[in-house]
Amino acid sequence: MDLLSENKRAAIWSIALLIVGLLVWEMSISAQAINTGELTEYELLTGADTAKAGVPPPSEVAVKAWQELSNPFYDAGPNDKGIGIQIGYSIYRVLTGYFLAAIIAIPLGFLIGMSSVAYKALNPFIQVLRPISPLAWMPLALFIIQDSEASAIFVIFICSIWPMLLNTAFGVAGVREDWVNVARTHELGAFKTAFTVVLPAAAPTIVTGMRISIGIAWLVIVAAEMLVGGTGIGYYVWNEWNNLDLTSVIFSILMIGVVGMLLDAAFGLLQRRVAYVE
């Protein structure tokens, strides 16, 4: 009961803060519109009109959101696609690169976690490659792969692999030794021990790494799509900025946040499912 009431209070505070923030935003933009009647030099040079000058208020963003979400899957040409199609492209790239990384990172993390020799042999390579920004790989990927779609997926692969790899290794190495010894006394093989003892014990840590990776992947895909162009939510943001449509830019930023929150919530649910109490 106490936890339920605490959740209710937290929800009320969140809604109140949202309302206050939107009101302050709306009133500050309205006051600015009253005080400034002329376009700035930058707006004149870029050809902006009075309707598009300045940051739009939340009421305009809400209207834009209604227009876009009422028909999210329209396709009127290469540079005019619905927000649903753009997000779909981005999620496809993220999940493709992400699961390719998982196929490599989780087994390799098991090997590193269970073998000190493998850890010492691979650790120098991990420490050199891990700090490199994923976007730094983009020019090389474009040159070698010569395909913007595959290059974006490769960048997601590179940024997703390290949190999963390191968390898997940490979780496997942290499994209690007596549990492994019990498996040995029952003469379980290495693979059976890994799947019946080590994996369930390390699962919470592994899923934590997967959760971190999906958040990083969603961050990176937006920047990658700004570079490669074509389709995706990142390209949508950049294209609307080139059109000087700040209302669409703010709407797309909010959509990026919402999709990121949903991806994190999905892995948060998975994390709770695999958690255990000793």
What are the tens digits of pLDDT across the range 231-240? 889 999 998 8
Please give the structure tokens belonging to residue 28. Answer: 């500050």
Tens-place pLDDT, residues 161-219? 999 999 999 988 877 676 666 666 666 666 677 777 777 888 889 999 999 999 999 99
Could you name the CATH architecture of 83-274? Orthogonal Bundle (1.10)
Quote the pLDDT of residue 244: 83
% of the chain surpassing 70 pLDDT: 82
Quote the pLDDT of residue 40: 54
* Tokens 């090389």 -> residue: 140
Task: Please count the other Cβ atoms lying within 10 Å of the Cβ belonging to residue 29.
Answer: 17
Does this model's pTM top 0.85? My answer is: no
Please give the structure tokens belonging to residue 213. Answer: 């990776």
Quote the pLDDT of residue 50: 41
66 vs 145: CA distance, rounded Å: 39
Contact (Cβ atoms closer than 8 angstroms) between residue 93 and residue 234: no
